[in-house]
Amino acid sequence: MSQKHKMIQGLDNLTQLRKLGIVELVEEHGASLCLSIEKMPNLHSLNVTSLNKEEPLELDAMTNPPPLLQRLYLRGPLERFPRWVSSLHDLERICLKWFSLTRDNPIEALQDLPNLTELQLLDAYTGTQLVFKSKKFQKLKILDLQKLEQLTYIIMQEGTLPHLQKMIIALCSKLACVPIGVERCRDLQELHLCDMPQTFVTVLEKNGEMDKGQRYKDLT
């Protein structure tokens, strides 16, 4: 047994831990980490990063996640979205990176979390559409979408994201236009469009959207 594996197994003695960060996690240690985390009922913040962008992040073994978890940062390749995340009713902030999700849509898994205020998807989804359904994400204030390289459309239905204040879209090379229905987000104060392709900028100019008073910032 490696020293790193022993260390992960030993975490289950830290039952009063409130904040945990793990880096360079390898796939074979994922199940042991899940078992240790389940014994931390007071955990408020969890940050897990895999060894590299190719090393799978294995967290499916978790069945009883810490009920008080408020912040979750996961960085590593995943083919399936961890089912336990949808049960984190106290979760306020989540950042997902390198997930490479194709079949599972993270939006559908997170849309009913009652206290979520900030969502970051960074190179975390390879689907072509993200649909924000009506009456979902009732408390979300910040939405950050970066390097979703297959994404072509973002659709916002009536009544979704009622308290969204800030939205960032960056490095989405195939995005055809600004989010459809974004005007429905009445509380939106900032829309940052960063490092977008020239074709995207051309569409904005052609449709006259850059002259309608919307707050487009950092547009390149």
Residue pair 202/178 in contact by the 8 Å Cβ criterion: no
124 and 216 within one domain: yes
The residue range of the domain holding 20 is 1-73
176 and 211 within one domain: yes
Gap between the Cα atoms of 11 and 9, Å rounded? 5
Q: Is residue 99 part of a domain?
A: yes
Q: Is residue 205 part of a domain?
A: yes
193 and 117 within one domain: yes
DSSP 176-214: -SSPBTGGG-TT--EEEEES--HHHHHHHHHHTGGGTT-
Gap between the Cα atoms of 149 and 133, Å rounded? 22
Residue pair 69/48 in contact by the 8 Å Cβ criterion: no
Express each pLDDT in 27-82 by its tens digit: 999 999 999 999 999 999 999 999 999 999 999 999 999 999 999 999 999 878 89
Instruction: Check pLDDT > 60 for residue 212.
Output: no
CA torsion, ordered 64, 94, 163, 192, to nearest 10 deg: -170
pTM: 0.90
Percent of the chain with pLDDT over 70: 92
Number of domains in the chain: 2
33 and 116 within one domain: no
208 and 146 within one domain: yes
